Amino acid sequence: MCGIVGCVGEKQARNYLISGLHRLEYRGYDSAGIVTIGTDNKATLLRAKGKVSKLEELVSSIRRTAKPSTDKIGIGHTRWATHGEPSEKNAHPHKAGDIYLVHNGIIENYKELKAEIKNHKFITDTDTEVLAALIDSLYDQNTTLADAVNQALKLVAGTYGIAVISVRNPDEIVVARSGSPLIIGVGDNETYIASDASALIGFTDKAIYLNDGEMAICRGDSVELRDLSAQPISAKVETIEIDMQAIQKQGYEHFLLKEICEQPSTLRSTLSGRINVKDKVANLGGLNLTPAELRKIEHVVIVGCGTAYYAGLLGMYYLEQLVDDLTIDVVAASELRYRSFHLPKDTVALVISQSGETADTLACLREIKRRGIKTLGVVNVVGSTIAREVDGGVYVHAGPEISVASTKAFTSQVAALTIFGIQLAQAKGADLQSVSKYIEELAKLPDEIDKIVSKDKEKIAKIAKRYAKYEHALYFGRDTLYPVAMEGALKLKEISYIQAEGYAAGELKHGPIALIDDSFFEVALLIDNWLFDKSLSTLEEVNARGGHIFVITNSKKAIKAEEIIRINTKLDILAPVLINVVQQLFAYYVAVARGNDVDQPRNLAKSVTVE
């Protein structure tokens, strides 16, 4: 949530700042800004409401009129508003005296701090301006910029990732983090700052990931790491393994469509080296659990938010089918963190997150760890905070997910959970035969998804046009299709803004069926299994009340509905994942038909690093 960039060294800082902000725009897009200090030691602050392209226009117009000066240092920000409406005034960087500051996170005690600061005239509604003013008030002749930042942070309650520069010290960017990611890119006589590694691609592949409670003084040719009591820390330089292709649209109209369509290959990466069809075994290497420890697991708690939570719910069904004597809870992280929950001793927690930075999920992870429970991550972004704080786990290797709505991560998360279930079942003595069908279906899943994304797009787009005019939708499914229905409704609402609800099919008659009228359409999910006839009865009940039903199914049997997509697949257990891919495409085409900004839907941002 929000993106931070910074650059100090020999090259034109602005080029990196604008390029980096474009890459980070998916983290927030209601305003953007940069400040640079030139070789003349003058600061230029540019901010614009709206997307980074607006800021870029401003930068170009200044370039045309101003005398050229090399920007040796600069910081920038793309914002997702928390305190204060989206406006140019509230956009970062914020200025106080000689200080310029960009900030991700929330300063919780900003009102108390503001009341104490006397020498600054506040002009914005933001918590960030208070932090800038606080640092400025501590930045006197006897203090270095780093010391002033350090002292200010000791007074702050809340979360932050910050980058600070000053015209009085124009060769250093001071950065710090607590709860909001910050990465330092190490280049040749050039040091970069980013809140997300994708901004660094093409500039450097060497990075230092800052931990909570750490700060750094970044110069063009050096990086000095400290903790908040000013003790030096040695820096670990890691290699970023993301290639440029992965963060480009590659000919697709939107990142969302690209990410839906690349699922065959991203899923192959998830599965690679982890399942063996011939030997009927599955193994996630990074769990850090011995077979004896695996055998002892009696309870699993799964936490995540949004799509990750729904992936966890679907994973629960597979874990239950695979492992006898296992109890499972799946809880939305935003709920669990404040509950007085109790976990039995032999519990393992699975923490699911695409970004690895979601504030609620991270808070749950820390609380669960504090109780002495072993935590395993199911994470996509390599090096992210959750990935670094769990006791073990698995990277799903779905590659960068740029579009705000999560799609390919869901598929990979469900696959990883299924592999975990197989591994757990085998550790507990399940015979090879009982798990072999799961392994075979996992192995076939990428090709089965490929059939949908390469053959069914046009048909789905046509159906989507028919339903794009509605304002309400009800998704329903039974058993494994219940979480899939909720995920389908989430995808539709977040990118098309159609009010959509996902429901357990068997629950419709307990209330929601009252909603059905001509202003609604329904998406009915059915698999040809032992529950098919029951699902069909629910569908008939909706038909009988004049429903406008769109069915997604793998069945060839007769079904009465306005529109049907029949998936041609032999998969049975994992057919819900295929049904979800159809739903993803459906939501995409509905949003396109409604003329929406599919990759950056209103009010949202990728990676929710605030509560």
Query: Least Å distance between CB 307 and ligand F6R?
Result: 3
Residue labelled with tokens 């930045």:
139
Strands 160-166 and 99-104: antiparallel
Pick the binder of ligand F6R from 52, 260, 287, 305 (CB under 6 A).
305
Q: Which is nearer to ligand F6R, 122 or 338 (CB)?
A: 338
456-515 residues in contact with ligand F6R (CB under 6 A) are: 490, 494
Helix (H) or strand (E) holding 242: none
Q: Which is nearer to ligand F6R, 308 or 504 (CB)?
A: 308
| Phi, psi dihedral angles at 45 (to 5 degrees) | -110, 125
Q: Does residue 354 touch ligand F6R according to CB under 6 A?
A: yes
Q: Which is nearer to ligand F6R, 36 or 334 (CB)?
A: 334
Q: Which is nearer to ligand F6R, 75 or 495 (CB)?
A: 495
Q: How many residues bind ligand F6R (CB under 6 A)?
A: 15
255-274 residues in contact with ligand F6R (CB under 6 A) are: none
Q: Which residues contact 197 (CB under 8 A, 6 or more apart)?
A: 183, 207, 240, 242, 381, 382, 383
Residue labelled with tokens 């199914």:
553
Residue range at the interface with ligand F6R (CB under 6 A); choices 301-309, 418-426, 448-456, 537-545: 301-309
Residue range at the interface with ligand F6R (CB under 6 A); choices 61-69, 349-357, 441-449, 520-528: 349-357
245 vs 9: CA distance, rounded Å: 27
| Burial annotation 379-403 (CB, 10 A radius, 16+ → b, else e) | bbbbbbbbbebbbebbbbbbbbbbb
Pick the binder of ligand F6R from 36, 104, 204, 307 (CB under 6 A).
307
Pick the binder of ligand F6R from 306, 483, 488, 502 (CB under 6 A).
306
Q: Which is nearer to ligand F6R, 120 or 258 (CB)?
A: 258
Binding pattern for the stretch 533-572 against ligand F6R, x by CB under 6 A and - elsewhere: ----------------------------------------
Straight-line distance from the first to the last Cα atom of the chain, in angstroms, rounded to the nearest whole number: 11
Q: Does residue 19 touch ligand F6R according to CB under 6 A?
A: no
Q: Does residue 609 touch ligand F6R according to CB under 6 A?
A: no
Neighbours of 67 (CB within 10 A): 6
**Looking at the annotation, which residues are catalytic?**
2, 606
Q: Does residue 406 touch ligand F6R according to CB under 6 A?
A: yes
391 vs 374: CA distance, rounded Å: 6
CB 543 within 8 A of CB 560: yes
Strands 472-477 and 499-504: parallel
Cα→Cα distances 287→82, 322, 330, 365, Å: 36, 18, 19, 16
- CB nearest ligand F6R: which residue? 306
Q: Does residue 584 touch ligand F6R according to CB under 6 A?
A: no
Query: Least Å distance between CB 472 and ligand F6R?
Result: 20
Q: What is the DSSP string of 417-462?
A: HHHHHHHHHHHTT--HHHHHHHHHHHHHHHHHHHHHHHHSHHHHHH
The residue ranges that bind ligand F6R (CB under 6 A) are: 305-308, 353-355, 358, 361, 405-406, 490, 494, 607-608
